[in-house]
Each structure stands twice: as C-alpha cells, then as structure tokens.
Amino acid sequence: MATIEHSAILKASPERVFALLERVEDFADYSDLIQAIEPLGEDRYRWHVHAVGMDWTFDVAITEARAPEVLAWESLDGVHNRGCYRLTPVAGGTEVALTLTYAIRNRLLEKAVNRAARPLVGKVSRQILERVAARL
C-alpha cells in the first residue's frame, strides 16, 4: 500500500472546518477531478473520479466521524483506499492533515498510478482545502 500525506492550516475553527468536510457529497465542488459523489445512505457514497486519463468509480463508507477532530473513510470496492482527515486547533485556525493509503492489484496500472498519484492527490487535497477555506 502507498501512503500520501498532506496538511494545511485553515483560518477557521475546527468545528467550522469539520462541518464542511463531513458534507462528503460536496467534495465534487471542491476538486476538478471529482466528477460526482452520490450519497448511497448509511454513510456510504459512490465517487466518480477522472484521473490519469481514466474514469474511476468506487464506493466509500465513513468509518469514523468524531466532530470536530476526525473524519475517516474506507473504500468498499474499486481502488482499495482509506483515508483520514485529522483536525487540530492551532493559533489562528485549524491544521487539517490528510493521510491517504491505496493499493492497486494490477501491476502495470499500479506503476502508472503510483507515478501520478502523489502529485495528483496533492493537487486534489490542495484544491479541496483551498475551496473549503474559500467557503469558510
């Protein structure tokens, strides 16, 4: 499994940041690569992503939502991934730290994705946090 980490400081309280992050279906508004997110009920969502020249669809379940500190998820199918936002109060706002792990079972595809994944996830994470900050 590969791990990607990214963090940023947003000028808002953890409660305000968490309130936006927990609205998972709105993530499609926060990144150009996320085509759509369908709520499936029971804290499950179907993500439609266009990345590395391909369309990806996978279902995700929220595994932990502890306001205003942690929002974690894990994929149920498709590209196996799990991630977590951790929110920590800091002077002037909130540090938001993302940890994302993923595994791809096809070796050829894995090489291509691994080459693109770090900058891609970094871009998506930056877009999400910048757009969340703009909404705050």
What proportions of the chain, in percent to the nearest 5, are helix, strand and coil?
Answer: 30, 50, 20
pLDDT given for residue 2 in this prediction: 72
Q: Is the model more confident about 130 or about 56?
A: 56
**Can you tell me the distance from the alpha carbon of 66 to that of 122, in angstroms, rounded to the nearest whole number?**
24
Look at residue 82 and tell me if it is in a domain: yes
Predicted structure pTM score: 0.81
Task: Tell whether the model's pLDDT for residue 102 goes beyond 60.
Answer: yes
CB 87, CB 95: distance < 8 Å: yes
Average pLDDT over residues 47-52: 83
If one counts the domains in the chain, the total is: 1
**Can you tell me the distance from the alpha carbon of 95 to that of 117, in angstroms, rounded to the nearest whole number?**
23
Measured at the CA of 96, the angle between CA 18 and CA 4, to 5 degrees, comes to 120
> φ and ψ at 62, to 5 degrees?
-70, 125
Q: Is the model more confident about 69 or about 33?
A: 69
- What domain range includes position 86? 2-24+61-134
Look at residue 29 and tell me if it is in a domain: no
Q: pLDDT band for 131, please (50, 70, 90 cuts).
A: confident
Task: Tell whether the model's pLDDT for residue 38 goes beyond 60.
Answer: yes
